[in-house]
A and B are shown apart, each in its own frame.
Chain A
Amino acid sequence: DAGVIQSPRHEVTEMGQEVTLRCKPISGHNSLFWYRQTMMRGLELLIYFNNNVPIDDSGMPEDRFSAKMPNASFSTLKIQPSEPRDSAVYFCASRATGKGNTEAFFGQGTRLTVV
């Protein structure tokens, strides 16, 4: 398997624009996580899905952020409108839930810069 695939790897956008980050989890994994990494706040869990259903979105910073998982092989994180303080690296991770399957596998991340 190619691992968790995120796109794009880098995104530069202007303040006020809509940004969509994409994630393809590892096939067969049924939990998916979106994290944001910044120097100030470290790795923050934004939202996670189990079997395509959002379970906990308490980490989503504000209504400008939304995430969807229309099927088991695809998820998006959207920011609309984007602001400079959204600049960060966004990671997607997936996990297979089941006995012994405990760790999450991470994608390479999307580095977002909002100018």
Chain B
Amino acid sequence: AQSVTQPDIHITVSEGASLELRCNYSYGATPYLFWYVQSPGQGLQLLLKYFSGDTLVQGIKGFEAEFKRSQSSFNLRKPSVHWSDAAEYFCAVGAYSGNTGKLIFGQGTTLQVKP
């Protein structure tokens, strides 16, 4: 069965420090992978996605993620965190087949940014 694991429920970093949020997935085929961000009281916004090609993908707001097939991981990184990055981050895998399929989310990681 498809699944996504985000090992860190809550992370606190200082503003300006680097960030890495971990994501591991379980999926039998080539995965479509996503990172979404959710600000309080808001819906989910796509940060970046991967489904083929270069395993290092760039997203919005200065985020990037690297797909490592051997580790079944898709970790999200940012070199310098801003206070406005405080939010909840979700990793997801698209269990797609043909023109249908579902998006399965991890439990989320809450990011707190210290001034």
Contacts and interface: CB of A to CB of B under 8 A. Distances in A.
A92 to B, nearest CB: 9
Interface residues of A, number: 25
Contact of B103 (A45, A55, A108): A45
B67 interface: no
Interface stretch (A13-21, A60-68, A99-107): A99-107
A42 B49 contact: no
Interface in A33-84: 33, 35, 42-43, 45, 48, 50, 55-56
B107 A42 contact: yes
B99 interface: yes
Interface of B: 32, 34, 36, 42-46, 49, 51, 90, 94, 96, 99-108
**6 smallest A-B Cβ distances: which pairs?**
A106-B43, A97-B99, A43-B105, A42-B107, A50-B100, A106-B44
